[in-house]
């Protein structure tokens, strides 16, 4: 699993030191604010309330000149027997600044309200929200650094449209949207998987371990016969699944935890002779050419990250990496996707 997601996105509320990803965009965490810019350079920034788990805001801005900023108010999921919020007002520096608009059970600010909120929270101003049910104040701790990070990623520093550090540099010089990578999915063999013999597995384990990167781990490959965290004996079984006439997918369980487990996947040739190529050691499922990892950051599933890799006939290419809003905003519905990596998948010829 990309460590941007395993080490950062599954613990976003900890607000660790900045972490920068490469192919999967940019993430940044500072105090009460979090940033995730995906590989197209669309950035999302989340800010928390001063009070714990009461609310927050989610700001979204696409790259390019003169792009608008969308502002959503994040409220906790309605508690049982509690009436839903019917009215929500933005307060800036102790004064009412207009009501938010409800659309599809979500609360939105106008662009003018959103920009006024940014101006207040990046400095010494105060931002609050009052509803017919409760009120909360937005924390300004970390806001300036998070807003500046987005301006930096999108090339806006020194332009009139920057959130911070405005200037007169032309808007035409800001970063433009990056096209999503295109992946041509390929139909895989319908052949059934088989479990390798103990002799075959013993011969392959050192090879599988040898090709892992520093971000991948497969402890179970060196713990065959020992007990896992649940007291079960680690079998070390390796499964081989034909991808086509010349490629084979190898898989084995690599680790287990309280409510997560990770399986490793490698590609080798049909004779099991070629040097294996590691795909991931953190996935759970393989189906119709797609390897999937869903990592639960909380036992209730409110915080979850997802990754996918797609077979293109020569290799597995990572096509998706996202978290849900529960990683940034505890007690929310968890149905907002916050992407780090997006791809366009073509499936011509696949039924």
> Within this chain, do residues 144 and 241 fall inside the same structural domain, yes or no?
no
Final residue in a domain of this structure, among 173, 207, 223: 173
Residues 229, 104 within the same domain: no
Q: Does residue 232 sit in the same domain as residue 315?
A: yes
Query: Structure tokens of 51?
Result: 């009070």
The torsion angles phi and psi of 140, rounded to 5 degrees, stand at -95, 0
Does residue 62 form part of some domain? Answer: yes
* Strand order across the beta sheet in which 337-341 lies: 285-287, 290-296, 304-311, 316-324, 337-341
Alpha helix stretches (DSSP H) within the chain: 3, 111-121, 143-153, 198-210
Q: Is position 135 within any domain?
A: yes
Provide the domain count of the chain. 2
Alpha carbon distance 198, 204 (integer Å):
10
Q: Indicate whether 204 belongs to any domain.
A: yes
Both tokens of 81, joined, read 């027997």
What Cα–Cα distance (Å) separates residue 27 from each residue in 5, 34, 36, 330?
9, 8, 5, 19
Domain interval for residue 39: 3-173
The count of other CB atoms within 10 Å of the CB of residue 328 is 26
> Could you tell me the end-to-end alpha-carbon distance of the chain, in angstroms, rounded to an integer?
29
In this structure, are residues 268 and 277 in contact, taking their beta carbons and an 8 Å threshold?
yes
Dist. CA 270–CA 308, nearest whole Å:
23
Rounded to two decimals, the pTM is 0.89
| Residue 351 in domain | no
- Whether the CB-CB separation of 325 and 334 falls below 8 Å is answered with yes
pLDDT in tens, the chain (351 residues): 333 334 333 333 322 222 233 356 899 999 999 999 999 999 999 999 999 888 999 999 999 999 999 999 999 886 667 788 999 999 999 999 999 999 988 999 999 999 999 999 999 999 999 998 889 999 999 999 999 999 999 999 999 999 999 999 999 999 999 999 999 999 999 999 999 999 999 999 999 999 999 999 999 999 999 998 888 999 999 999 999 999 999 999 999 987 899 999 999 999 999 999 999 999 999 999 999 999 988 766 688 999 999 999 999 999 999 999 999 998 887 789 999 999 999 997 776
For residue 58, is it within any domain? yes
Last residue of a domain, one of 173, 191, 210: 173
Query: Residue 87's domain is classified under what CATH number?
Result: 2.60.40.2540
- On whether both 67 and 128 belong to a single domain, the answer is yes
- Examine the domain organization and report whether 342 and 193 are in the same domain: yes
11 in a structural domain: yes
């Amino acid at each position: 699993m990309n460590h941007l997601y395993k080490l950062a996105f599954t613990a976003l509320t900890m607000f660790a030191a900045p972490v920068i990803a490469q192919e999967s965009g940019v993430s940044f965490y500072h105090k009460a604010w979090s940033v995730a810019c995906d590989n197209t350079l669309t950035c999302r920034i989340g800010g928390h309330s001063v009070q714990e788990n009461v609310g927050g805001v989610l700001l979204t801005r696409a790259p390019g000149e003169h792009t608008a900023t969308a502002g959503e108010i994040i409220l906790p999921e309605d508690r049982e027997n509690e009436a839903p919020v019917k009215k929500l007002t933005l307060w800036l520096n102790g004064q009412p600044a207009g009501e938010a608009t409800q659309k599809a059970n979500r609360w939105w600010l106008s662009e003018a309200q959103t920009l006024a909120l940014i101006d207040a929270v990046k400095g010494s101003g105060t931002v609050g929200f009052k509803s017919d049910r409760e009120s909360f104040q937005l924390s300004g701790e970390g806001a300036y650094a998070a807003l500046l990070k987005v301006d930096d990623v999108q090339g806006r520093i020194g332009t009139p449209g920057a959130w911070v550090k405005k200037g007169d540099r032309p808007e035409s010089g800001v970063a433009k949207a990056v096209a999503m990578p295109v992946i041509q999915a390929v139909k895989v063999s319908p052949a059934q998987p088989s479990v390798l013999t103990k002799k075959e597995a013993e011969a392959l384990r050192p090879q599988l371990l040898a090709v892992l990167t520093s971000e991948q781990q497969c402890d179970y490959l060196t713990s065959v016969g020992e007990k896992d965290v649940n007291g079960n004996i680690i079998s070390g079984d390796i499964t081989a699944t034909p991808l086509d006439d010349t490629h084979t997918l190898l898989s084995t369980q690599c680790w287990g935890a309280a409510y997560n487990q990770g399986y490793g996947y490698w590609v080798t040739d049909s004779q099991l002779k070629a040097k294996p190529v590691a795909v991931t050691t953190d996935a759970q499922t393989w189906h119709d050419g797609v390897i999937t990892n869903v990592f639960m950051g909380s036992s209730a599933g409110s915080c979850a990250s997802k990754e996918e890799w797609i077979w293109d006939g020569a290799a597995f290419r990572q096509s998706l990496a996202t978290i849900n809003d529960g990683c940034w905003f505890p007690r929310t519905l968890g149905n907002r996707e916050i992407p780090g990596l997006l791809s366009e998948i073509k499936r011509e010829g696949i039924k």
